Structure 1
């Protein structure tokens, strides 16, 4: 919880100072909430997926904060109670082909057996294509990770490590209505080759109104250290606003 408070406090300070000293700041907000209920004679399950993102950007710098919570039960047993928050920034992304990034993440996950995990780091990125309807970016950097995991139901694994973080990010816009975007990470530990994380998120959105889209999202996570993975496919309405 201390990492969550630190992230929120840092985000608030950045928002205040960034808006105060700039007269050309752009703001972005997005929120989505989806869920499903399945009830039969053989069992009952439900899943709730909630997430948000806020951003502040200028020509040379951008700052984003995001959070999400997934909760699910099947036949009275909790299958998901996963919380994640993130704060990231990019420097010179809008003006140069090579730019710099930094991030801080905190998450907890029953499905992945993460009791607490914090990641923070920085790196460099390269805009392969940066056009109105097509964007592709590759990045690499170093992360410090402090984790409290469950290898078994009762065995705790508290450790820290440095990781190489490789990211592929893309966005394709078709006819100004359909958008396909994704962000995919591969994070390998420098100290142990079998210790790696995979995080992948892909979105397909159809614009219904200027501020409203129908969105289908597929999220995949794998922690090789715990031998756990999850795959979530959700769809629903996304509220999005630039101002």
Structure 2
């Protein structure tokens, strides 16, 4: 189990993988999203809360991003979700290039729905912007991560492992008339030593701006942890507040 001091260190580091649009005068970005649902019938009740907090910083050729996401849900008093992810990533752009850069990542996950007690990932790689404009962005990255996990398998076997993974990601953002925004990220992380051991993470957001700082957002998230043979998906909607400064 990962120590509390290490978790505190990660939390002090983390809030930044944001699809932000910086310019010469804006170097910081804050984004908060909250959504949820409640369902009650004669046969029972259920509810789900989904909250995320992001913070971004960019100066010259260096950018840093810190993301936190927490999903909590119950159905008939049974916990279905208590899933927390916190990640810190940083980008270092190569010379005068605005397209090619190096990246580093530290990520911590714990998830009831995916049967992850603790998972820590750290590593780095390279990335390239095929498109990088105000109204359109498309980015591909690849690299190597060290993954140390503490899981429960389907037969309740306690699985403590470490492995190296290839981490491939597609990142995109498209904006229509500064009002409608479609963005998302898709990951696949394959273990180098075990073919059946892979992780899939996908998030797609569609936002409509109500104010410059406030949007109505619909989000679809899918996760699969093949090592535990578990997956989850979540379709949510709510309000997103963001600010550049």
Q: One fold, TM greater than 0.5? A: yes
Using the TM superposition, give the Cα deviation of residue 76 of structure 1 relative to its aligned residue in structure 2, in angstroms: 1.0
TM-score, with length taken from structure 2:
0.91
RMSD: 1.9
Using the TM superposition, give the Cα deviation of residue 33 of structure 1 relative to its aligned residue in structure 2, in angstroms: 1.2
The aligned residue for residue 138 of structure 1 is: 140
Q: Is the 8 A contact 1:69 1:84 kept in 2?
A: yes
* Separation (CA, whole Å) in 2 of partners of 1:163 and 1:129: 27
Using the TM superposition, give the Cα deviation of residue 11 of structure 1 relative to its aligned residue in structure 2, in angstroms: 5.2
Matched length: 234
The aligned residue for residue 60 of structure 2 is: 59
Q: Structure 2 matches for 1:33-112, cutoff 5 A? A: 33-92=34-93, 95-112=97-114
Post-superposition Cα deviations, 1:44-74, rounded to whole Å, max 9, x if no partner, equal 0000111100111113111111111111000
Partner SS for 1:124: strand
The aligned residue for residue 207 of structure 2 is: 205
The aligned residue for residue 230 of structure 1 is: 232
TM-score, with length taken from structure 1:
0.92
Post-superposition Cα deviations, 1:11-39, rounded to whole Å, max 9, x if no partner, equal 59xx9xxxxxxx97711000111111000
Any runs of at least 4 consecutive aligned residues in structure 1 with deviations exceeding 6 A, and if so which? none
* Separation (CA, whole Å) in 2 of partners of 1:95 and 1:32: 32
Query: Can you give the 5+ residue segments of structure 2 that lack an aligned partner in the other structure?
Result: 17-23
Post-superposition Cα deviations, 1:91-136, rounded to whole Å, max 9, x if no partner, equal 1189432111111000100000000000000000011111111100
The aligned residue for residue 125 of structure 1 is: 127
Structure 1 residues 152, 48: closer, same or farther in 2, change over 3 A?
same
Query: Can you give the 5+ residue segments of structure 1 that lack an aligned partner in the other structure?
Result: 16-22
Matched, 1:8 2:11: yes
The structure, 1 or 2, with the larger RCO (C-alpha pairs under 8 Å, 6+ apart) is: 2
* Separation (CA, whole Å) in 1 of partners of 2:81 and 2:109: 13
